[in-house]
Structure 1
Amino acid sequence: MHRRHRRRLDSVAPDGGDPHETPRWTREQAGLIERTDETTAPIVYPPAENLDPDHHIWDTWLVRERDGSIADVDGYRVVVALTADSDLLPGKRHDTATLRFYYSRDGRDWHLGGRVFPESTALGSRQWAGSALYDDGDLYCYYTAAGERDETDLSYTQHIVLAEGGRLHADDDGVRVEGTFDHRSLLRPDGEWYEREGQSRGMIYTFRDPWFFEDPATGETYLLFEANTPVPEGSSLCGGDAAQQEFNGSVGIAHSPTGDPTDFELRPPLLDGVCVNQELERPHVVVRDGRYYLFVSSHMHTFAPGLEGFDALYGFVADSLRGDYRPLNDSGLVATNPANAPFQAYSWLAYGHREEVLVTSFVNYTEFDRPSLDDVAYLPESEQRRRFGGTLAPTLRLRLDGDRTRIVGTLDHGHLPTADEALPETDDERIERLRREQDGTGRGY
């Protein structure tokens, strides 16, 4: 089955065990976080109708080719999402999360395809976020197994799983998954680079969110994931501040020695946020102009004491995959919700489209501006349901310029343009066009 498990003969070997000094997101950098016009998204309003009224939809990812491009499945593009029945209280959705897929010909109108695989075959008591690789018709689904399959009480054990064996079939009636998936645990934390659950002293334990990546510069094959860096008690990190040391999020990476998308070995982290943040969720990379842009999502409440951040997309840039990452916009903040709607969207995912980077997310809680998302629980159940979106949010349009970024516009809810689709003119582009046109008349602007 694995026809394309190859390494380019001219590729550069990975670090292969050599010491690797992990770049760090520092407290000084994170202390610069503030909302600006360039990093604040417009207010999100719920759509007239959710993409799938029968299900809550949140973390979502596009099915992609090995090179990172969006897969064309006989004229369709396909997304996979975490889902739960919409009659469930939104705050309970993570306890029953399952993977469903949706397909579209135009990147606007999405249709439910169904479960990616039968629930009884998946590992874990529920499935959390991951990624999906479409390789010569074969479908590789990387996901997080949360808990144990037959557990009575929910646990938060996490390991990274690969499901292979299925294929996508498309015809005039839509897209369906065919074949039988084989599920197996792919990666577990080693306790040295990546914290095991028993080592955790923090508020939240993480080893999840696998994201497939083939480095265009080397042809090497990797999985990125969210993890925590072990910090021994008594460490001098964070000036010895034990409370800050509990916030030890990191971006992990595993390497496939042969390019086989079913075989990976843990390597040292790409980035850590020790002393800064506990959760660097859903890490992924966009390569532009020879630069590697590493993006993560994080929450307001997962920043270490003494720091103030937002529910937001954060980013870092380096000159190579294993380079010395520095925060975008000095602080790392790339896109956040407005102050009067701080929890309106979450779980951002960036991907390249023509000269821009597009950022998709889901509608979280609208008409809610209390200081903590925990306060949702004080609302009547009817209000919790009404204010939770549970569907795809408007797509943000992002411009990258070295280590600076800015939001330049939005597209409709769930609009994920096809590769040949030109985007509407932004306000900046319209102003520049008018300037050129009027300059051409000799009258100036």
Structure 2
Amino acid sequence: MFTYKSKKALTTFALATTLITSVFVPLQADGAETTVNWTREQVSKIEQTADNTAPYINGEEVEKISSDYHIWDTWPLRNRDGSIAVINGYKVIFSLTAPSDVLPGKRHDIAEIRYFVSKNGKDWELGGTVFPEGEALGSRQWAGSAMVDDGKLHFFYTTTGRKGEDHITYEQRLAKASADIEITKKDGISFNNWSNHDVILEPEGKYYQTMEEGMQGDIAYAFRDPWFFEDPKTGEEYILFEGNSNGTPAERQCEPEHIGSEEFRANHEVPENSKLFNGSIGIAKSTNEDLTEYEIMPPLVEANCVNQELERPHMVTKGNKYYLFTDTHLNKFAPGTSGPDGLFGFVSDSLVGGYQPLNDSGLVVANPKDNPYQAYSWTVLPNGTIVSFLNFFDLGDKTIDDIGHQSREWQFDHFGGTLAPSLKISIHQDKTKIVKEKDPGVFK
């Protein structure tokens, strides 16, 4: 048995098997009233420059880390304080995967989480599936996060759909399970002696839209991507996640605070269906040592009338500030606004409340205009390295919506399904800048 110990960083920044019936009671935290909206005025300031546009990726030159599987959303094994874990000399990453002979557009419907290991943080070898067959909740599993403490893996993931469902559904809940980390000469790193799988969070309808509300005319529904975060100022522990603002379309309208300043509003038209765009970044506070019980809190950021999906939210801390990052697609922006497939970010002096967009607009990294879908699912590591996966590339004049109408061969030829070249950014106060491109899959 391998035992790994780490201490909580209190003063330094290092950064269910079935549906449970627990009631998630909203927690009114300090600063809760300062939930901010990413406004249409702020988004109007988006401009691609050399400082925020990633280099063009020649997808045909990127070597796949696995010929047997598509891989996409990927995250590292971290220590409890958020730093990247090293287990017996190995770094570990986790990825959503599907067999490589599955059409790229169908991969989400059968996603499984696998792990890879590396001695140098850039050459990855497949370890295997994370969960024993049949034990994970849902008809498939979507992205999450993982941390190690005292030799035990704590794994958070999105359970999507239900086992045995007759038709694929998009119900999403947040789940957690734990396992022992074992090191053997024969098998390398493995995860054994799994705990029960527990649903830890569901949308409660006060701050976060339920699936039933979302089905009453909205574009899409989201409650996913749990990201564990220990606050280095207090040692308290949280889960960040993607959600949607509460309510049904009939109950919502675009308010002045969603649009911007009085001067901007005077000259800006807001199409009626903009109210269907209600992405949010949620947060919940852990209330027990097992990290299975939480008090749900108001969102950190909402994008009402601006954007539908604020995916893969995660936090990096630096210089006494909290940096909140998220990913979104160009086709998720509301009518009358626009932005690229990219990584976006916000900064605050407080964990809860007061977030303002980085670089005035929020844009941190964008795909180049001549290869607008080349990468996605960017994750910022504590040292400023950004990792992502190679998505659809060299589409010519086609959009993401055209891909499913192309031949099977064409779809495979234009999909990466592996780790993209990593990037390095500098972060200074409320400004960021791309400073370097690294090799594909570099986690250091």
TM-score tier by shorter-chain length is 0.7 to 0.9
d(CA) in 2 for partners of 1:173, 1:119: 18
Q: Could you tell me how far apart the structure 2 residues matched to 1:99 and 1:254 are?
A: 24
Partner of 2:156: 142
Paired position in structure 2 for 1:204: 220
How far is the alpha carbon of 1:242 from its aligned partner? 4.5
Aligned with 2:254 (options 215, 218, 237)? 237
Cα distance in structure 1, aligned partners of 2:333 and 2:399 = 13
1:27 aligns with 2:40: yes
Correspondence 1:410 to 2:410: no
The gaps in structure 2 that reach 5 residues or longer are: 12-26, 257-269
Which moved further from structure 2: 257-266 or 62-71? 257-266
Match of 2:349 in 1: 319
1:421-436 correspondence runs (5 A): none
Q: Distance in 1 between matches of 2:184 and 2:242?
A: 33
- Alpha carbons of structure 1 residues 30 and 372: separation in structure 2 relative to 1, 3 Å: same
The CA distance in 2 between the partners of 1:141 and 1:371, in whole Å, is 38
Kindly tell me: are residues 271 and 259 of structure 1, through their superposed partners in 2, closer, same or farther at Cα, counting changes over 3 Å? farther
Q: Higher RCO, 1 or 2 (CA under 8 Å, sep at least 6)?
A: 2
1:124 matches 2:123? no
Q: How many residues align?
A: 409
Q: Structure 2 vs 1, CA of residues 7 and 314 (structure 1 numbering), >3 Å: closer, same or farther?
A: closer
| Aligned equivalents of 1:178, 1:278: Cα separation in 2 | 38
Structure 1 residue 167: deviation in Å? 2.6
Quote the offset at 1:19 in angstroms: 5.0
Kept in 2, the 8 Å contact 1:284–1:294? The answer is yes
- One-letter amino acid of the counterpart of residue 104, structure 1: S
Q: Percent identity?
A: 45
- Partner residue in 2 for 1:249: 279
How does the TM-score come out when normalised to structure 1? 0.87
Q: Which of 365, 376, 399 lines up with 1:346 in the alignment? A: 376
Q: 1:363 to 1:167 in 2, by over 3 A?
A: same
SS in 1 for 2:162: coil
The alpha-carbon distance between structure 1 residues 251 and 170, as it changes in their structure 2 partners (threshold 3 A), is farther
Deviations 1:200-236 (A, max 9, x none): 1321100000000000111110000000011452444
Query: How far 1:257 sits from its partner (Å)?
Result: 2.8
Which residue, 271, 276, 298 being the options, matches 2:328? 298
Map Cα deviations across residues 383-422 of structure 1 (whole Å, 9 max, x no partner). 11011000000111101111111101111011112xxxxx
Q: Secondary structure at the match of 1:261?
A: coil
Q: What displacement does 1:371 show?
A: 5.4
CA contact (8 A) 1:41 1:407 kept: yes
Q: Aligned partners of 2:86, 2:247: CA distance in 1, in Å?
A: 44
TM-score between both structures, scaled by the size of structure 2: 0.87
Structure-1 residue corresponding to 2:49: 36
Spell out the pairing of 1:177-188 with structure 2 (5 A cutoff). Answer: 177-188=191-202
Q: Equivalent residues in 2 for 1:387-406 (5 A)?
A: 387-406=414-433
Q: Which amino acid aligns with 1:237?
A: C
**Counterpart residue number, 1:111:** 125
Q: Which residue of 1 aligns with 2:17?
A: none
Specify the alignment match of 1:87 in structure 2.
101
Per the TM alignment, residue 44 of structure 1 is displaced from its structure 2 partner at its CA by 1.1
Deviation track 1:114-139 (CA, whole Å, cap 9, x = no partner) reads 00012311111010000011111111
Indicate conservation of the 8 Å contact 1:342/1:369, yes or no: no
Alpha carbons 1:328, 1:334 under 8 Å: kept = yes
Deviation at residue 370 of structure 1 after TM alignment: 3.3
Q: Report the Cα offset of residue 174 of structure 1.
A: 2.6
The residue correspondences of 1:53-72 to structure 2 (distance < 5 A) are 53-72=67-86
- Whole-Å Cα distance in 2 between the matches of residues 48 and 33 of structure 1? 29
Q: Unpaired segments of 5 or more residues in structure 1?
A: 418-445
Amino acid at match of 1:95: D
Q: Is the 8 A contact 2:376 2:391 kept in 1?
A: yes
